[in-house]
Amino acid sequence: MNCPRCKTAEARKHQIYGVMPCLECQNKDVDPGYSPSEDIPISRLDRIQQQRDHSGADMIQPYADGKPNREFFKHYPEMMPSYKLSKSEMKEIDL
């Protein structure tokens, strides 16, 4: 069976996905042929960075290595009562 894209080379057969493009066509998929920075407008990059700056604290975990994470409680002080920290843990955080 011929490749579904170029119609000249032999198509690859996959057990799960069935007929797949030839290796040459698949290699073209991996290399876009241009730098990603050429394709993304600067305004979009700025917007993404603003979203990271605004929502970055959402990824911080309340505990790191079994100890309360100071950064988490610095960003979310209102969450301290719900975690019921001991006095020694509160002293470690030292907010």
What ranges do the domains of the chain cover? 1-32, 56-95
Question: Which residues contact residue 68 at a Cβ distance below 8 angstroms, ignoring those fewer than 6 apart?
Answer: 62, 83, 85, 89, 92, 93
Residue 36 pLDDT? 59
d(C-alpha 69, C-alpha 64), whole Å: 5
pLDDT at residue 39 is higher than 60: no
Q: What is the pLDDT of residue 9?
A: 92
pLDDT of 72 strictly over 70: yes
Over residues 63-92, the mean pLDDT reads 86
* Structure-model confidence comparison of residues 32 and 79, the more confident one: 79
pTM of the model: 0.44
Question: What does the block give as tokens for 70?
Answer: 């100071």
According to DSSP, the β-strands at 63-64 and 12-14 are unpaired
> pLDDT higher for 50 or 36?
50
